[in-house]
Each structure stands twice: as C-alpha cells, then as structure tokens.
Amino acid sequence: MRRICSLFALGTTICVILSWNHTLASPASGQPPQQARPSVATPPNSQQNLDVNERLLKQLTDRIKGRENDPAEQVFKNIQIPWLKTVPAGLFLRIMNGGYSRALGVSCTHCHVEEDFSSDDKRQKRAAREMARMHRMINEQLGKMENLEAPASERSINCATCHRGAVSPLAADR
C-alpha cells in the first residue's frame, strides 16, 4: 500500500508539474519577465499523439475490465520495471499515459508495437527501461543528500524534469 501511495504521490506531482505554468523574472539581468515554457501536458503537435493514446487507452481499459485493481504483472505481459509490477493495472495504464507518454510528447506506439505491447522489438522501449532505472537511482541519491534545503521527501525528478515534452532532452530547450 505504501508503494502505491508513493506512486500516486509521484503521479500527482507529475500532474502538478505538467500543469504548472508561471512567469519567470530575471531581475538580476534587468530583462523583462519571460513566459515559462509551455506545459508538458500540451506539447506542440501533440493532438495526433493524444488521439492515438486515447484510442489505445480505451482499448486496453476495456480489455482489462474487472482486473483494474490486480497487480499489473498479473494483467500485462513482460513488465520488467520492478516497482511497476505491483501497481494496480488501471493505475499502471495511467502512469504509462500520463507519466511516460506525455512527458516525452509521444504516443504509446513510440515505444510499443501496437499489435503486441509486450514486444521488446522497439529500441525506444528498451531505452525507456534504462531511463526508468536511471531515474530511480537519481531519486535514491537525492534522498541521501545531506546538504540540500528541501526535505528528502520533497526531492525527486521524473521524466518531465529533463524531457519537458520532447523525446530528446536537448530538443526540449529549443
């Protein structure tokens, strides 16, 4: 239950970060305030991705009807990220859609073969797993740091921290 609550908190944090859009001022430089980068929740050219994801999410939700609260590893095949195996299947779909897909500004089919989501044929899916492990290691290290102001419980990163709606973090600033 604690792990589910932690994932829910992470998901909530992601949603807050994705919808937070404020004005940035640069008083030291004397420059006028600049509008913050558009929210990751609505990256440019994303309507097609949103449409694809909505269709696939509905198909998958219909397919798992009645098993939404079962652990994801019992409902879906080939889940290899350990901390996602025990997440309820319904929440797992929301994490994939809201946490991964939107943070990178991609559709589900960017990483998944549409006809077989369990397939590891796409390099992007294998890379996402590596990134998830890196993300976990960074958050563990952030929690161990002793000289930061924020309490350990408030120090974390997620996909959107770097990607901000772009597949390449380098492209996110452009």
> Which CATH number do you get for residue 53?
1.10.468
Question: Residue 113 falls within a domain, yes or no?
Answer: yes
Rg, the chain, Cα only: 17
Question: Residue 147 falls within a domain, yes or no?
Answer: yes
Question: Residue 107 falls within a domain, yes or no?
Answer: yes
Q: Total domain count for the chain?
A: 1
Question: Residue 131 falls within a domain, yes or no?
Answer: yes
Question: Residue 25 falls within a domain, yes or no?
Answer: no
CA–CA distance, 49 with 40 (Å, rounded to integer): 13
26 — pLDDT class (breaks 50, 70, 90): very low
170: left (phi over 0), alpha (psi -120 to 50) or beta: alpha
Question: Residue 31 falls within a domain, yes or no?
Answer: no
55 — pLDDT class (breaks 50, 70, 90): very high
Q: Which two tokens stand for residue 14?
A: 């992601």
Q: 123 lies in which domain range?
A: 2-10+38-173
DSSP H or E run through 25: strand 23-26
Question: Residue 157 falls within a domain, yes or no?
Answer: yes
Q: Which amino acid is at 46?
A: S
- For the entire predicted model, the pTM comes to 0.70
The C-alpha torsion from 151 through 157 and 162 to 163, rounded to 10°, is -140
18 pLDDT more than 50: no
**pLDDT of 46:** 77
Question: Residue 143 falls within a domain, yes or no?
Answer: yes
- State the average pLDDT over residues 90-116: 94
